[in-house]
């Protein structure tokens, strides 16, 4: 901290209160007590070294958020609480409580689609969840306003219009992937096609459509469906894929670019088989 005390880009010290995702009851309670004891000492030490920057504690918005803030505010010298929001069902209740108690609360993580669906959020202090899709050695996220290559997504055009900084009336375009209707076998090659929604009908994308750029990527997931790695493939409205071993753990990502903005579609390599046949009653 002493080495970075003159760094103007550091505006606050932020911590998370999310032990419920790491531990289960009854052990959760012991971990919470230990964490709060440690955090109390740490915050006191931070404030003794740097009292010019705020201390922020982030927590998920849920049915218990109001009670949690009420309890934490009695034991920790927190300057502001950041709400991580997956849905807005309890937001008004928590904000009203914070106003009554004169507690500083803001939205520290909000999904862009939730923001666009709720115009009343424009009056609040908030941070959108992710600026760009994230890629690390063992994790991928797809919720950024920019894709992995830094291209602007269509949803960013909607946000630019909403914020009034730019009148951006984009021609909305939707893309999807047409999968082969055949069984898959590791080592075999199968063709996947891009389809575009035109005049309320899905149509095969054409090489002649020079307005659109089609980019394909292969995503590897773990057995729980969490994305681990991504590999960029070819460009074009159609692609031939060599089916990998354990193809159930792979997905195909299609990214379509038009006028500087992108939209994407993601699907499994195979079409899961569903048995819709009804069992006949045994003959008597």
pLDDT digits (tens, 9 = 90+) for 33-82: 999 999 999 999 999 999 999 999 999 999 999 999 999 999 999 999 99
Looking at per-residue pLDDT, the higher value among 260 and 166 belongs to 260
Rounded to whole angstroms, the Cα distance separating 246 from 222 reads: 11
**What is the percent of the chain with per-residue pLDDT over 90, rounded to a whole number?**
78
In this predicted structure, the answer to whether residue 166 has a pLDDT above a threshold of 70 is no
Rounded to whole angstroms, the Cα distance separating 91 from 107 reads: 9
Count of Cβ atoms closer than 10 Å to residue 143 Cβ: 15
What pTM value is reported for the model?
Answer: 0.81
Q: Is 209 helix (H, G, I), strand (E, B) or coil?
A: coil
Cβ within 8 Å of residue 277, ≥6 positions away: none
Alpha-carbon distance values, 111 to 45, 48, 247 (Å): 34, 35, 30
Q: Which CATH number fits domain 132-271: 3.40.50.920, 1.10.287.470, 2.60.40.10, 3.30.565.10?
A: 2.60.40.10
pLDDT confidence of 274, banded at 50, 70, 90? low
Q: Is 197 helix (H, G, I), strand (E, B) or coil?
A: strand
Rounded to whole angstroms, the Cα distance separating 167 from 14 reads: 34
pLDDT confidence of 138, banded at 50, 70, 90? confident
100: buried, middle or exposed (CB in 10 Å: 19+, 13-18, 0-12)?
exposed
Tokens of 20: 């419920």
**What is the percent of the chain with per-residue pLDDT over 70, rounded to a whole number?**
93
Rounded to whole angstroms, the Cα distance separating 135 from 151 reads: 15
Rounded to whole angstroms, the Cα distance separating 179 from 202 reads: 13
Residue 18: predicted pLDDT: 93
In the numeric block, the tokens 């960029």 are attached to: 232
Quick one: average pLDDT of 133-147? Answer: 92
pLDDT confidence of 206, banded at 50, 70, 90? confident
Cα–chain-centroid distance for residue 99? 29
Rounded to whole angstroms, the Cα distance separating 129 from 142 reads: 11
Question: Which residue ranges make up each domain of the chain?
Answer: 2-129, 132-271
Looking at per-residue pLDDT, the higher value among 55 and 2 belongs to 55
Mean pLDDT for the chain overall: 91
Residue 155: predicted pLDDT: 93
Backbone angles phi, psi at 160, to 5 degrees: -60, -40
In this predicted structure, the answer to whether residue 140 has a pLDDT above a threshold of 70 is yes
């Amino acid at each position: 901290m002493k080495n970075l005390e003159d760094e103007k880009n550091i505006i606050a010290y932020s911590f998370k209160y999310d032990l419920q995702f790491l531990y289960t009851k009854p052990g959760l309670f012991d971990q919470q007590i230990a964490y709060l004891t440690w955090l109390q000492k740490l915050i006191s030490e931070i404030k003794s070294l740097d009292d010019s920057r705020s201390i922020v504690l982030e927590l998920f918005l849920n049915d218990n958020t109001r009670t949690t803030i009420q309890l934490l505010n009695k034991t920790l010298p927190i300057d502001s609480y950041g709400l991580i929001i997956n849905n807005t069902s309890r937001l008004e209740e928590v904000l009203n409580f914070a106003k009554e108690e004169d507690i500083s609360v803001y939205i520290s993580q909000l999904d862009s689609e939730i923001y666009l669906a709720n115009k009343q959020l424009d009056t609040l202090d908030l941070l959108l969840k992710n600026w760009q899709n994230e890629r690390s050695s063992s994790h991928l996220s797809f919720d950024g306003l920019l894709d992995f290559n830094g291209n602007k997504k269509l949803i960013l055009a909607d946000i630019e219009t909403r914020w009034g900084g730019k009148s951006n009336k984009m021609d909305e375009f939707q893309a999807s992937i047409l999968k082969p209707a055949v069984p898959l076998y590791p080592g075999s090659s199968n063709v996947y096609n891009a389809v575009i929604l035109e005049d309320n009908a899905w149509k095969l994308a054409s090489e002649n459509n020079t307005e659109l750029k089609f980019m394909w990527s292969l995503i590897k997931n773990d057995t729980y469906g969490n994305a681990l790695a991504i590999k960029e493939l070819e460009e074009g409205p159609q692609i031939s894929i060599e089916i990998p071993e354990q193809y159930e753990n792979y997905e195909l990502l299609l990214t379509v670019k038009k006028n500087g903005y992108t939209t994407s579609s993601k699907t499994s390599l195979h079409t899961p088989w569903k048995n819709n046949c009804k069992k006949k009653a045994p003959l008597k």
